[in-house]
Structure 1
Amino acid sequence: MSLRSRGRPAQDLPDLPTRQAPPAWARRQLIDGIRFRVRTGVPWRDVPVEYGSWDRV
């Protein structure tokens, strides 16, 4: 079987939905929260809310 007779694999696959829910927090906020936690050494629960929920940072 030659490559031409096989067809393109992308044509045989169904289209997958690409819709996703928008993130609850901006990525920048989460990165800043992680940096704040590492810089100050505070426990995760003490990270300010402005950086996102403590269980999401």
Structure 2
Amino acid sequence: MRIDQLVDEAPAGAWRRLSCGNGAQGPRVYDWVAAELPANIVFDPDPPTRHPWVVAR
């Protein structure tokens, strides 16, 4: 699965609106979602030692 497909299929309840701080024209507010990616057994043996995540805005 491609990353853009994973983000597009994120449920509405997974998104969070968070501020990134103040900008020149007011607060910079964005919608964010995070998802844990499946383990890649080619690069990480069983059991996986890493747990990759993707964060999208």
**What TM bracket, shorter-length normalisation?**
under 0.3
Q: So what's the TM-score if we normalise by structure 2?
A: 0.25
Q: So what's the TM-score if we normalise by structure 1?
A: 0.25
Over alpha carbons, which structure has the higher Rg?
A: 1
Structure with the higher fraction of residues in helix conformation: 1
